[in-house]
Amino acid sequence: MSPMRIAYLDCFAGISGDMFLGALIDAGVDPKILHEAIASLNLSATLTIEKVDRSGISSTKIHVYEGSRLAEESHTSRSSDHAHEDHQTHQHVHRHQHQTKTQHQHKVGYSHDHEHTHGRSLTVIRDLINAASLAPAVKQTAIQTFELLGASEAKIHNVPIEKIHFHEVGAVDAIVDIVAASAGIHALSIDKWYCSALNIGGGMVDCAHGRFPVPAPATADLLRGLPPYSAHIEKELVTPTGAALIRSLSPTFGPQPPMRVEHIGYGAGTRNPKEFPNVLRLSVGEATDAAAISTPPAPHSHKKSEAHHHHNAQTVTVLETALDDLSPQVLAYVAERALALGALDVMLTPVVMKKGRPGTLLTIICNPSEQTVLEQLVLRETSTLGVRVRQDNRVCLDRHHAHVTTAYGEIRVKIGTLDGQECNVAPEFEDCRTAATKHNVPLKLVQQAAIVAYFK
């Protein structure tokens, strides 16, 4: 049985898009993967990578260029004095993301409105990403991250998500950050992500609607249900892009789990404050104790039978509504969007409703932290007048991936284990479909080859 490959993000100095990219490269992701992902967008964008010092820590700094100019220079001339940002000016000082990337998505009270009249809508950004020659999983992660940002903005401004126009977040530098980060995430082939609590910094920050305490509104909404804290520095340390990437990863929060670390990467923010390394640390390796990194038993569960029942127990939220007056096309769209926004599963069940009308029971299973976003999706996109919500418990097998080599290329195989014993083995469908299409062979042939290769 192949060991579980895990990664741990140590966010003692927060997280932003450029810090995450720097940490990925510093931890061993081939820069070529990020360069190719960006080139596929056809935005005339490039990355430059340099080694910098952050309070004595050697780390990797990322700069995004649009043509021959720093990308952010191309759409704004505002400056900032914050600790780190997703992008930087010609003076290598990053501009404040919640000012220039999220708070102005629904433009209110900004003196430079003429610079942001033609912001990209979520639909435009989806189309841009879908048209790129990226792996389906990379596209899904990138689109989900933008949808999370859009959902937060829609809530703040009380407008439908599709009416949000991303001005700075829809600019070239932000699109590059999110798409490149998505490519890097999947290049690592991590089975399970972990993350420390998030240091959000402190103090006040100037937003489009006045001065707000850190975190800014969009970041605060994205951090709902996550464990933030404030320490050491009176600057904003978690940007909306950073918060959205964390939410897309859906990590387990807590101390670093038992792991055999293979690579450690440091991604740099722009500022270099004294005695405060402004870096994001990423540790990548193999789990050394599968039992220790699973969900712990409930308190006082000391009997063997009780510990077994609590092993990997999870609480999930179930959203449910029955519909008898909605187009199947819209239902399919809502199911697709729900999965993109983080739903664990979506089911459409035929039912007979009052007056003998045939209808569909829409059921969405999600983590509790995604409840509000998915509630809004259902209420906005369907004809329902209400959604039933309940909390259920589920017990899961430990899951990890192995990579096998077949005549049709490398295929990931998902393994489910209980107390270290294999219970289920299944080839990843998307890998098999891609290989079957590439080699023009039946899908089932690729699946069978992957199973044979695994058991050999």
Give tens-digit pLDDT for 52-71: 999 889 999 999 888 777 76
Tokens of 179: 């798409």
The strand ranges marked E within 136-179 are 165-166
Q: What percent of the chain has pLDDT over 70?
A: 81
Tokens of 25: 């490269």
Q: What is the chain's Cα-based Rg?
A: 23
Question: What is the distance between the alpha carbons of residues 452 and 441, in angstroms, rounded to a whole number?
Answer: 17
pLDDT tens digits, 201-222 = 888 877 666 788 888 888 898 9
Q: Are 164 and 122 within 8 A, CB to CB?
A: yes
- pTM here is 0.60
Does the structure show a pLDDT above 70 at 346? Answer: yes
Measured from the Cβ of residue 235, the count of other Cβ atoms closer than 10 Å reads 24
**255 prior amide bond cis, ω within 30:** no
Q: What percent of the chain has pLDDT over 90?
A: 46
The confidence score (pLDDT) of residue 232 equals 82
Q: Where in the chain is the domain with CATH 3.30.70.1380?
A: 313-395
Question: What is the distance between the alpha carbons of residues 342 and 336, in angstroms, rounded to a whole number?
Answer: 10
Q: Are 380 and 151 within 8 A, CB to CB?
A: no
Question: What is the distance between the alpha carbons of residues 270 and 308, in angstroms, rounded to a whole number?
Answer: 48
Max Cα distance, the chain (Å):
72
pLDDT tens digits, 293-302 = 444 433 333 3
Question: What is the distance between the alpha carbons of residues 376 and 371, in angstroms, rounded to a whole number?
Answer: 9
Does the structure show a pLDDT above 90 at 411? Answer: yes
The sign of the torsion formed by the CA atoms of 287, 302, 225, 141 equals positive
Does the structure show a pLDDT above 90 at 447? Answer: yes
Q: Are 61 and 18 within 8 A, CB to CB?
A: yes
Kindly report the average pLDDT of the chain as a whole number: 81
pLDDT tens digits, 150-172 = 888 777 777 777 776 665 455 67
* Mean pLDDT to the nearest integer, 76-97: 36
Place of tokens 């044979």: 452
CATH classification code of 398-455 = 3.10.20.300
The confidence score (pLDDT) of residue 69 equals 78
Question: What is the distance between the alpha carbons of residues 240 and 246, in angstroms, rounded to a whole number?
Answer: 10
Does the structure show a pLDDT above 50 at 325? Answer: yes
Instruction: Give the confidence band of 432 by pLDDT, cuts at 50, 70, 90.
Output: very high
CATH of 313-395, picked from 3.30.70.1380, 1.10.260.40, 3.20.20.80, 3.40.50.720, is 3.30.70.1380
| Helices of type H across 115-267 | 122-131, 136-157, 172-188, 217-222, 240-249
* Mean pLDDT to the nearest integer, 3-20: 93
The confidence score (pLDDT) of residue 74 equals 54
Phi, psi of 417 (to 5 degrees): -125, 155
Q: Where in the chain is the domain with CATH 3.10.20.300?
A: 398-455
pLDDT tens digits, 226-253 = 889 988 888 889 988 999 999 999 898 8
- According to DSSP, the β-strands at 421-427 and 409-418 are antiparallel
Q: Are 402 and 412 within 8 A, CB to CB?
A: yes
Instruction: Give the confidence band of 371 by pLDDT, cuts at 50, 70, 90.
Output: confident
Q: 168, 158, 154: which is closest to 239 by C-alpha? A: 168
The confidence score (pLDDT) of residue 297 equals 37
The confidence score (pLDDT) of residue 218 equals 83
Q: Which amino acid is located at 426 in the chain?
A: A
